[in-house]
Copies of this chain bind each other. A is one copy, B any other.
Amino acid sequence: MSGPRPFANALEMLRSAGLRPTRQRLALARLLFDKADRHVTAEQLHGEAVSAAVPVSLATVYNTLHQFIGAGLLREVVVNPGRSYFDTNVSDHHHFFLEESGRLVDIPGDRIDVSNVPLPPAGTAIRRVDVIIRVERDED
């Protein structure tokens, strides 16, 4: 759905990112990338790690998530004030956001067109375009 994963396993992925393959980082990488594209919060991921009997603190989860973002392995999605989602899909795409449930749904980049974009303010260059389509329960 978002192209082949570039890494055969977590160890290789961490090595390529220049991050020491510690027990915590290996476990978090597996939790994040072994399944399909995911949108997780730090608390969620920490809960999964604890459930999987991986000894890891919440501070380390935050550290690791930010290191993964820095390495381009992960993307942050901001839809809600006061809570961040971390998206394992780093290809070009956008999101539906279901406000009631807090769920994010990917929209592949080629399934939506953003065109006629004006020039960015003087002295700046576009880094990323985020389209967030906020949806609500349909009264049927």
Give A contacts to B, CB under 8 Å.
76, 78-84, 96, 98-99, 105, 107, 111-118, 120-121, 123-138, 140
Contact = CB atoms under 8 A, between A and B. Distances in A.
B118 A112 contact: yes
A131 B134 contact: no
Contacts of A138: 123-125
B126 A133 contact: yes
A99 B120 CA distance: 13
A80 B124 CA distance: 18
Contact of A137 (B105, B107, B118, B124): B124
Contacts of A113: 113-116
A111 B114 CA distance: 11
A135 B122 CA distance: 10
Contact of A120 (B82, B123, B135): B135
Given A123-B140, A138-B123, A117 B133 contact: yes
